[in-house]
Structure 1
Amino acid sequence: MFLRRLFRFLSKDIAMDLGTANTLLYTRAHGIVVNEPSVVALDANTGKILAVGAAAKEYIGRTPRSIRAVRPMKDGVIADFDVTRAMISYFVQKAISGLRLVRPSMAICIPTGITQVEKRAVIDSAMLAGAVDISMIEEPMAAAIGADLPIHEPLGNLVLDIGGGTSEVAVITLSGVANSQSVRVAGDTMNLAVQRFMRDAFRMEVGDNTAENVKKIIGAAVPMPNAPILEVSGKDMVRGCPRVVKVTEAHIREALREPVQAILEVVLRALEKTPPELAADIYRNGMLMAGGGSLLKGLDQYISRETRLKVFVDKDPLTTVLRGTARAMLDRETYRSVFIN
């Protein structure tokens, strides 16, 4: 009895959204305790970690040769195992307030369709970071739970989750995924598209953080009246000097045309493979959008126009997946069937 109580005291439930762009952690006692970029700054010579999360993101594009700013997640999966393990360990210790004796149980959301090797890498990195037990849930399912969709009922629920590395579409019914499609086009792809457009149209290089800010401020999928004209700073590719140009919403809408079209096409593929009865439910109920990419202005309108579906963005799309993962973790009896091996 004493040992059981001691174990319960020293254990802690943590839900984690390990994303390409951001990592979020939730604890039973305090709710969301970590919401930071998935970035680690390293000493290039020794490999020593210098900064993690928001502090490390400030290093991107500004580091001397002795420092590397690394994003260890790519396209929704682990690209650098050792750095990911160190990043998870840092965030877990932050979540449990540095209590070294605590060995948390973790519920982690993962992309649909990842390989067993990729899944094993997530498990191993979390275990080496201190987790004692790990459960996994697919991201679109977590998004559906986080948005309070009726996943247990015999109804078709359509979910589009646009993260940093992947866009995933899933049809969910009776606590399972009836059909899913994904494409490795998402928020990061949009940032790269902005950088490419600036090179081609203005012969100017801009950094990752600048491209992301431009996307957030004037990026759109449909024309946006009264959008501001933005002054963007970068490096002239011809002269090599600093330069400022004025960029409009129409410029960035053109830059984002291809990734936006790719996201629409993955939605259309999912609809094409959906059985008629579930398709009828989706037509009546519409589609949920979640993830940071769903915040692109007018993207919901564009997809609605092209699919003739009602499209609604979750109230807080950056945390939808984490909220669903946490809810399933805290009520395992109700959501037992949504966890995967």
Structure 2
Amino acid sequence: MVIAKHAVLTFLAVYSVLAEPVLGQIPQGYFTDVRNVSPNTGVASFDFAAFASADGLTLYFSDTRNNGLTPIPGNLGDEDMWMATRSSVDEVFSNLVNLGPGVNGPNADDVGSISSDGLTLYFGSNRSGNWDLYQATRSSTSEPFGNPETLGPGVNTVAVENVPRVSPDGLTMVYHVGLEGRADRDIWMASRSSPSEPFGNARSLDMNSDVEDWWPTISSDGLALITSDSYFRPLRPGGEGGLDIWVWTRNGPDEAFTQAMNPDVLWPGSELNSSRDAGYVYLSPDWPAIGSKIYFTGEVSAARGYGDVFQATWVPEPTTSGITFAIILLLTGCKRRRLPSSLELDFPNRWDGIRDHRFAQCCQSMLSNDN
């Protein structure tokens, strides 16, 4: 269907607004276009704990030499933190850079998250002989991170703490806690009133169960928590065969999270879980915006077994009432005037209540009557 440029712009503007979820409602849509974006390390490495910068152009991840795996050349310890870059969100990452001895020690260091301005790195490390949470800062994004400092007794204990995922405003952190060598990790949350203050008020979330929950990531509004199965087993019932990704939701920030759901069931059309392993998940802070991402480590093949970083893209579904309103504005714009320049518009192939072919047929019929 060929329609006027101003009508296309009107439709897209309205669509982008109506695709946003109503406050307190779980966003509807699906994760699709799963693709391997791992940088070419030159070895059969295991790239995990990945997350991306706010613009999606810089990837931070950890690489391990443990369990007989081959580390990336240049690894300083058992598990090092690395970064890679790309020029667009659809490309594979490249230009590998080790984050350096300022943050990477001889033992294991696992990336967690980075502040919105890119100046504070949060990570877990066993450099003290026990897994604790740390942060390191820098004065500009072109400089290396300086010497790490612990996040303090408000969150660090004799147990294992790892994977600090800090919210964009720097006030909330989720992470997993467990006992060394035991499959009992649970998800905890801590908070603070200012990014310059230490985290405190650490508490176990009431969604924790007998199945191990680890590697958490939480949406910016705090209403969706995503975790993954653990290599320590047992796997959560209802999965698809390998390590799987799970979603917990709630209607308000003070409410309890519901029972874990397979994202491919909660959001039909999603393509995250399969018979191969998927885990170490990270949700981009702009979710559920159109084009927002989820990153995870996926098994490359059953034979090769090691993991690469994958990304999937979120496609939101607007509500039925929103679609109706968009149709009215679209057709009103089309009837008003036509511009010499025209565009081809491919309507999204999934809708809530009104499917694209009905929408296209309706528009085509009304536009034909207007000619």
- Relative to the length of structure 2, the TM-score reads 0.27
Greater helix share, 1 or 2? Answer: 1
- Relative to the length of structure 1, the TM-score reads 0.28
Greater strand share, 1 or 2? Answer: 2
